[in-house]
Amino acid sequence: MSEDREGTYVYGVVPAGVKLEGLDRKGEGMPEVWLVEVGDLAAVVSDLPANEETATRDHVLAHSHVLAAIAETTTVVPLRFGMVFPSDEAIRDDLLQARHDELTQLLERFDGRVQMTLKVSYNEERVLREILESNDEIAQLREAVRGSSKEQSRDARIRLGEMVNAAIEERRERDGADILEQLKSVSLAGVPQPLENELMVLNAPLLVERKQLDAFEDAVDEVAKGKEELMRFKLLGPMPAYHFTDVEEPAWA
């Protein structure tokens, strides 16, 4: 901690008096952090990077690493990247006291809860094979295109691409809904996000009780095993409930 610093970076807000565990992993680019407290709230803070322009990428990673490490053991209300205050007094006055009731309510709502983000993508070769095997019209058009020149089959190729895309979209909606349905018993809420590419099936932050993490991860493993030839599963977390803080009381519909 620098005695004479130009500003203080704030990662998030936790209950006052908590122990910051898991934040000594320097190999993950963890900065030195400490608490600025007032009453029953505390801000998790650090010095600014030595050179903000060259350190931006590293600090973005540090921001997420710090919050994820805290979320492993403690409830934290995450702040957006880039929150800087000129002094500890400003943090106490303009953040912790000015927004005390809102921050306290969020800490209470997410006490013992974390976000796990599930990303699922198709194996391209396998999903195309299944579509061809299950849709005679697509299979026949594909064979017809194969036997024609590109100029002769231009319209047919466009039609084939449209049909395959429509079939993948239909399959994606069905598969994504099925995965979420199988995880409802071990999660509190889900807020599917926009997909990152055309082969992605699901990009879903899920709210999970920390004490149920093992059961949740086992359930995800079980679902993944049943679909391992068709899909690839990636589970991220635990992390703060980034995608649920603006929901009045997150729950499955």
Residue type, 191: V
- What's the CA gap between 50 and 68, in Å, rounded? 23
Run of H or E including 4: none
Q: Which fold has domain 114-244?
A: Alpha-Beta Plaits (3.30.70)
Residues 195-220 pLDDT 10s = 999 999 999 999 999 999 999 999 99
> What is the sign, positive or negative, of the torsion defined by CA atoms of 11, 12, 15, 20?
negative
Query: Checking DSSP bridges between strand 84-85 and strand 200-209, what pairing results, if any?
Result: unpaired
What is the pLDDT at residue 3? 47
Residues of the chain with pLDDT under 70: 1-5, 22, 24-29, 49-55, 147, 149-152, 246-253
| Bond preceding residue 240 cis, omega within 30 of 0 | no
Asked if residue 121 lies in contact with residue 240, where contact means CB atoms within 8 angstroms, the answer is: no
- What's the CA gap between 47 and 87, in Å, rounded? 11
pTM score, two decimals? 0.83
Residues 135-153 pLDDT 10s = 888 888 787 777 676 666 7
DSSP state of 49: P
Which residue ranges make up each domain of the chain? 8-111, 114-244
What is the pLDDT at residue 175? 96
Q: How far is residue 95 from each of residues 34, 38, 124, 178, 194, measured CA to CA in Å?
A: 16, 10, 48, 42, 31
Residue type, 106: L
